[in-house]
Amino acid sequence: MSTSLQSQLRLPSLLIRNRNFVLIWAAYGISAVGDHLSEMALLKERGGFDRTDITRVQALLSFGFFLPFVFIGPLAGWWADRFNRKLTMIGADLLRAGVMISLPLTIPFLIGRGLGDYSIVLPLMLTGAFAAFFSPSRKALLPSLVRNDQLVRANAMIGAMGAIGAIFSGWLGGKLVDLAIAGHFGLVWNYRLDALTFCLSAVLLVFLSMRTARTLPRARLTGVWTPIVEGFRYVRQHRRILQMILIGTIFWASGGVLVSVVPAIVKEVFGGTFSDAGMYRGLIAAGLALGAGLMTIFGPALPTSLAVLFGLAGGGVWILALDAAFIFKLGRFFTAFCLVMIGTHGAALLISVTVIIQRFVPDSRRGRVFGVSDMATTAAMVLATGLLGLPHIPNLDLYIPFLLAFVGLGLLVALYLAWREYRRGETVSPILSILHKLARFYAHFWCRARRDGICTIPRRGPVILASNHTGGVDPIIIQGTTLHRIVGFVVAKEYYERPLAGWFMRQAGCVPINRESPGKSFLLACLKTLRAGGCLGIFPQGTFVSPEQEQPEAKYGVGVLALRSGATVIPCHISGTTFRHNPFAAFFIRHKVRVKYGRPIDLTEFRGREKDRDAAQQVSELIMTRINELALPDEPRTSVRPVFREG
């Protein structure tokens, strides 16, 4: 067992019992409060709701914060791969606290120098510079603190905590500004509380124990420029990583426009206050929290492609709905609901991008790849907010309907392009492709299917997949644990003729059989499927019975097919299903399934005996023996008669 695997197994199986994860989880949530607590105060410093170009001022704030990510993101990624990631995060938090506590002095000084609106942008640029170092260090450190199978849930929980922090800070920041306007105290308390959150985050990070973290290989970097260039080259050469970064870039560009127009929407749709603007921006974060919560539950079982398509489709549709809310003044509730839904779908995108990089990029390059990702995604945010904030466009708020329509349609175009990319190389119909992804989700989430080892089914050529039969849910479990082939099963004719079930079976290319009298036509249909290069799933037992009963013997039909087709025969063993006599009832109860695929079965000794009934029976029994060999010692096995060899 490798050192990396040993150290991974030492980590707690529950994230909430992982001390290091809880610390970084809480620290991120607290620092997320600090990221947004001062924004409403800065907006007030420059006139706030009294201005007719509030969209421009909000865009400038986002522009200033994210601009440093564009220029120093790759350098920050190199730093995360070169130096101590824990100390980097602590230092970034303390430096951000210093910037916040100095704002009551810095802003008047910059205003006195005639910088106008840019007096609130420059301090945020400095804060963003330190945040640019914090981000790749945190993302690159997380995989060493949790197990590989916990990455989706860990990122979802961190995303949810950050979103909750953003919700709270948006509301609290706006509320403090309203109280300051009422004369209770000054805006300085926004900045003081902001600094305090960063200090608290740094204190929590101090207690991270790297002794209990996973040991991951990480070579020491030499030089600066060459390793940074290697980070860009790695992204360019790995198509999957590049695709995910591009998807994140599209979302961040859309987010830049959306965040900028929220205060104007609040003002125009229902005449809200500063606290309303903060709260409604917080609703996007509420959606992110909701989406992260859903990803915590469903994400580990959800194929990445489905999560991405779901995020793009929902984001585009709900931004167009928000546009309608603005144009037709549809009120508080519908506006709030649109913002929550946009955030919910966005969470699926952001978590998918992060997890793919963490899962597939080696630790020695992970910081630099995240640096490139931060540069690309925030460049899109900076470009979007810069186009809105840098030029002085009179009455910019009047153009919000066109901006939202452009962003919503842009996400739908991205959806189409992503679908085209995911379909690359697929030979099945679009609807079958979607059904296969849904089968994977159902098998892993509802049936809790776990594949023991790799899937040994060849990517091409005729294949007979022979499995023991435990219940009606077996076919979908097999479909859900085979990544690169669609399996068409031999199914009972009475199920094939049912309206809904039959439609799914026809889509998958299943072959119906009359179990009382199979007939020659059934054999010809199976051979036709195999000679066309298909993958045919068959249960040699022909039926399933309760685990307490004696398991039925294999029928000779699978041997006939194996001999006459010459197809590769792959054994498969299923265990852990909850038995129900009704095959359809099994789809509505939970299971805890183990699936194991075996090596191809060698049938060369039977060559030349394709029409020998005894040979077919022997092959059937040999196949069943190989299936039983895949079972664990305490799992039920099918009874098999001894296989006699001639000579």
What does the pLDDT read at residue 622? Answer: 92
Structural domains of the chain, count:
2
Co-location of 126 and 201 in the same domain: yes
Distance of CA 158 to the CA centre of its chain: 13
Let me know: does 472 contact 539? Beta carbons within 8 Å: no
> Can you tell me the distance from the alpha carbon of 64 to that of 378, in angstroms, rounded to the nearest whole number?
11
Co-location of 145 and 50 in the same domain: yes
What is the residue-wise DSSP string for 51-88?
Answer: -S-HHHHHHHHHHHHHHHHHHHHHHHHHHHHHS-HHHH
Residue 635 counted as domain residue: no
Higher per-residue pLDDT: 300 or 4: 300
Of 391, 422, 453, the position where a domain reaches its end is: 422
What does the pLDDT read at residue 515? Answer: 66
Residue 11 counted as domain residue: no
Residue 624 counted as domain residue: yes
What does the pLDDT read at residue 642? Answer: 43
Given a cut of 80, whether residue 49 has pLDDT beyond it is no
Q: If residue 266 lies in a helix (H) or strand (E), which one and from where to where?
A: helix 239-270
Given a cut of 90, whether residue 260 has pLDDT beyond it is no
Co-location of 188 and 253 in the same domain: yes
What does the pLDDT read at residue 535? Answer: 92
What does the pLDDT read at residue 545? Answer: 78
Co-location of 404 and 470 in the same domain: no
Residues of the domain holding 517: 430-629
Tokens 């929407």 correspond to 265
Of 422, 453, 475, the position where a domain reaches its end is: 422
Using one digit for the tens of pLDDT, what is the confidence trace for 448-474?
999 998 999 998 899 999 999 998 899
Residue 4 counted as domain residue: no
Co-location of 393 and 534 in the same domain: no
Using one digit for the tens of pLDDT, what is the confidence trace for 303-357?
989 999 999 999 999 999 999 988 888 878 898 899 999 999 999 998 898 989 9
Q: Which residues pair with 573 in a beta bridge?
A: 596
For residue 99, what pLDDT band results from cuts at 50, 70 and 90?
A: very high
What residue type is assigned to position 565 of the chain?
S
Residue 647 counted as domain residue: no
Residue 646 counted as domain residue: no
Co-location of 394 and 497 in the same domain: no
What does the pLDDT read at residue 645? Answer: 39
Co-location of 120 and 86 in the same domain: yes
Distance of CA 644 to the CA centre of its chain: 52
Compute the C-alpha angle 405/36/161, nearest 5°: 90
Using one digit for the tens of pLDDT, what is the confidence trace for 371-422?
999 899 888 888 888 787 777 777 777 888 899 999 999 999 999 999 988 8
Co-location of 442 and 355 in the same domain: no
Using one digit for the tens of pLDDT, what is the confidence trace for 474-511?
999 999 999 888 898 888 777 787 777 778 888 778 88
What does the pLDDT read at residue 426? Answer: 79
Q: What is the mean pLDDT of the chain?
A: 85
Residue 1 counted as domain residue: no
Co-location of 40 and 89 in the same domain: yes
Q: If residue 527 lies in a helix (H) or strand (E), which one and from where to where?
A: helix 519-531
Tokens of 169: 């800070």
Co-location of 486 and 348 in the same domain: no
Residue 490 counted as domain residue: yes
CATH of the domain at 538: 3.40.1130.10
Co-location of 441 and 522 in the same domain: yes
Max mean pLDDT among 181-185, 215-219, 545-549, 569-573 falls in 569-573
Higher per-residue pLDDT: 95 or 265: 95
Residue 189, number of CB atoms within 10 A of its CB = 17
Co-location of 45 and 131 in the same domain: yes
| pTM of the full structure | 0.79
> Can you tell me the distance from the alpha carbon of 479 to that of 535, in angstroms, rounded to the nearest whole number?
11
SS3 463: strand
Given a cut of 50, whether residue 644 has pLDDT beyond it is no
Of 368, 395, 422, the position where a domain reaches its end is: 422
